[in-house]
Structure 1
């Protein structure tokens, strides 16, 4: 730590151009861009130039759950894995494109464990965007502290790229002192990446109409991202439910709507008065809500997603979605067959924690079908998962499955009871075929009540 009188001088000593910062990276280095909105912009562009001009080889860039509105320059302006390859702990759309091109690989992980990974997965250079330094010499890490502390402890060199538009996120371990920074880049201040608040569909609204009546006064909510959580948040904002709280992996726009509607009062029995989260992504409205706001509290993922922490919060309600599931209740939320889509994230953490909570409930929501390119429908409740599909939430950890046709309770149910409950909420056009397949699988009996 420096004396206050030294801070301005140290800032100038460490201030470099993006090109000078990028020159720190050597062939064979592992470089972390963090997660959430932390990925650098100007330094990434400079690093692409450095790789090309100076002939760097075997550079690895790692990220997890990045919120991006443009691909990396280190991808678009380089040509091969011999130069630079990418590893992601949670695919976004750009990761999927890089993966299809053979340039990006997935790193399976449980999100709550991620800070610990960096104790045995060395990082050579960490490069993050940050909020400007305050008079005490602290840079705010922005709304994505998640695993950044683990990365910073592991990294040999730390480069911060200052972005005037990065919201100041209050919380725990959200500050990085200049003494722990090697180089400072004053960036071009790109806008925060926007995750559009996707409008809900009639199917989303129908699913929400089943979930909302099951949410009690005083519940603490974990909402995922997408149309279904948005629909649930909107219906809750218009409902008679009161005294809600927030404790979530990803902070999204529905929390702002719920807070402004007076539904979130924070009367939970842990972290009272705070909406807890580990990273955020949404519209500018969300980032403005976060900025210097004591109501929203950013904390490391090994706390927010810790199963024991979640379980200690009474009436915890976890609401997530998936890609598809089978009649055993196995849930796939990260791949379409062999094609990787996203990641485990906190799906399993919150499924287990919510069920262990006193009065807790875990909902996994899914449309009963999806439309194929030829206009036909495909059931998303299947006899067995498509070959290559990854089981994100095992059948033993699933509490409720919800489609637009109803709610299926799976906890404590036998295999044939599960099959019956899931067929009951499948699209009617596919129920007969699902029964036939369930019979072949030995999970349908003559005592089953459902008849079609």
Structure 2
């Protein structure tokens, strides 16, 4: 028998494991636990094939971190009553929120940093993990693309791994960022669907003012963590137009703002840890962003339990964290996840970066919200509140909060007592609500004239 060369052996293994999407999903049985992949790595053709089997299956739990596409998963279209599939996500997008309201999407509360351990030790073994990957290289490796996040918690705790090859998946350099053919059970050559993109909205007038308050507090030599949307992009725009330079990137989500900063010559990545690298756990943005990432040695994707580790974050001097939130109460508690009982999004890495930035030498974190929102009937509602409404989630506790930002200013709550916090927060509330907030603070015993709760 002829001895195969390594390249011939790899090709033989590839052909032996190559099947259609319809054939691959036949391994799924009633009662199984399935994972669909992460971010740009969500398995598209495999998910569609699974949806075709809806009537054959019952009690199948399907997990993902975030459904990245505008159209809902085909399994939910095929099973709107959730009779066959139980769809779960650790961070709800707008698409998933609609499905949550419809009653067929459930939220998994987690601390994003803990997701690898959560999936490996706290949930049942996955029967099947499905994920999109880049084309195999000459050594039999499939690059995971611009996301690692919690993959290894899933992959270490599953019985079968199916990869869906997408030629559009950018090859990403970094840590633990590939699967070898020997670790894979089935290979599907997908339809090469375009990766999901995010088009940031134009920043609002309030967001532009918030960005101005933040940028005046950023120094050259800082390391940046920015979220997604028009607001952080505008922060990046102001930095690009400023005298601030010699900046670095260490972030949970890698977005287009970093591309714009690089093009402006602001990003040197001259940082203490992972010097010369832009470090992140997943990327989502424009096609231009994915093209920049592809086979770029400057990029460093890594597992979320590394990227979001407070001690790792804090090794970056002058760490700057910028995130949005939904509501803040006069104690300084921050809700970034719900509107009352209605779920909006997951915890993500907000708390990790708030704590890591403060622990960093010269670091700062900024949690930002417009001072008001307009209700359907046209009335304005203050987003600085005496107390958070029933059902609200405390995403960042008052003990961890550093700066709170609205269009009326940025206030530092660290080292402030309860009445000082209340005074500072009232000062950045909308003027129409300040007197009302002061009266409520007095009743709550957190005003400078009294520490006693009125009518307790």
Q: Indicate yes or no: 2:82 matched with 1:78.
A: no
Cross-structure match for 1:45: 48
Q: Does the residue aligned with 1:85 lie in a helix, a strand or coil?
A: strand
Q: Aligned residue for 1:245? A: 248
> What SS does the corresponding residue of 1:198 show, helix, strand or coil?
coil
Give the CA deviation at 1:51. 2.3
Match of 1:177 among 169, 177, 180: 180
C-alpha distance in 1, partners of 2:431/2:80?
49
Greater Cα offset, 2-11 or 87-96: 2-11
Q: Tell me what 1:212 maps to.
A: 215
User: Within the alignment, does 1:303 sit opposite 2:306 as a pair?
Assistant: yes
Q: Say which of 392, 397, 408 aligns to 1:394.
A: 397
Match of 2:30 among 15, 18, 27: 27
Match of 2:235 in 1: 232
1:327 maps onto 2:325 in alignment: no
Residue in structure 1 matched with residue 454 of structure 2 by the alignment: none
CA contact (8 A) 1:197 1:283 kept: no
Offset from partner CA, 1:48-83 (integer Å, 9 cap, x none): 11222xx21000110113422321111111243230
**Residue 369 of structure 1 corresponds to which residue in structure 2?**
372
What runs of 5+ residues in structure 2 fail to find an aligned partner? 452-456
Q: Is the 8 A contact 1:222 1:318 kept in 2?
A: yes
Conserved 8 A contact 1:110-1:344: yes
Label 1:79 to 1:371 Cα distance change in 2 as closer, same or farther (>3 A): closer
Shift of 1:447: 8.9
Q: Tell me, yes or no, if the aligned pair for 1:221 and 1:246 is still in contact at 8 Å.
A: yes
- Does the 8 Å CA contact 1:19/1:50 hold for their aligned counterparts? no
Matched ranges for 1:293-442 at <5 A: 293-442=296-445
Partner of 1:258: 261
Question: Who is 1:92 aligned against?
Answer: 93
Verify the 8 A CA contact 1:38 1:66 in the aligned structure 2.
no
Residue 145 of structure 1: aligned partner: 148
What is the alpha-carbon distance in structure 2 between the residues aligned to residue 227 and residue 412 of structure 1? 31
Cα shift at 1:16: 0.5
- Structure 1 residue 445, shift from structure 2 partner: 2.2
The 8 Å contact of residues 37 and 43 in structure 2, kept in 1 or not, is answered as: no
Specify the SS of the correspondent of 1:354: helix
State the distance in 2 between where 1:27 and 1:89 align: 23
**Who is 1:103 aligned against?**
104
CA contact (8 A) 1:228 1:365 kept: no
Q: Which residue of 2 aligns with 1:57?
A: 58
- TM-score, normalization: structure 1? 0.97
Question: Structure 2 CA distance, aligned partners of 1:66 and 1:110?
Answer: 18
Partner residue of 1:128? 131
Residues 349-358 or 67-76, more deviating: 67-76
Deviates more, 1:61-70 or 1:223-232: 61-70
1:93-151, Cα deviation, whole Å (9 max, x unpaired): 12212211111111111111111112222211000011111111111101111111111
1:4 deviates by 2.8
Q: Deviations over 1:318-369 (max 9, x none)?
A: 1101011100000000100000000100001101111001111011011011
- 1:69/1:194 contact within 8 Å kept: no
Equivalents in 2 of 1:163, 1:395: separation in Å?
A: 44
Runs of 4+ in 1 over 2 A off after TM superposition: 2-5, 79-82, 445-448
Matching residue within 151, 161, 164 for 1:161: 164
Structure-2 separation of matches of 1:258 and 1:447: 48
* Number of residue equivalences: 445
**How far is the alpha carbon of 1:86 from its aligned partner?**
0.8
Task: For residues 1-45 of structure 1, give each alpha carbon's deviation from its aligned partner in whole angstroms, at most 9, with x where no partner exists.
Answer: x93320111111111011001111110111001221111111111
Is the contact between residue 334 and residue 342 of structure 1 (CA under 8 Å) also seen in structure 2? yes
For residues 319 and 74 of structure 1, the distance between their equivalents in structure 2, rounded to whole angstroms, comes to 35
Asked whether the equivalents of residues 54 and 78 of structure 2 are also in contact (C-alpha less than 8 Å), the reply is: no
CA RMSD of aligned residues (A): 1.3
Distance in 2 between residues matched to 1:79 and 1:229, nearest whole Å: 36
Select which of 2, 7, 10 maps to 2:10. Answer: 7
- Contact 2:61–2:85 (CA<8 Å) still a contact in 1? yes
In structure 2, how many angstroms separate the alpha carbons of the residues matched to 1:427 and 1:215? 25
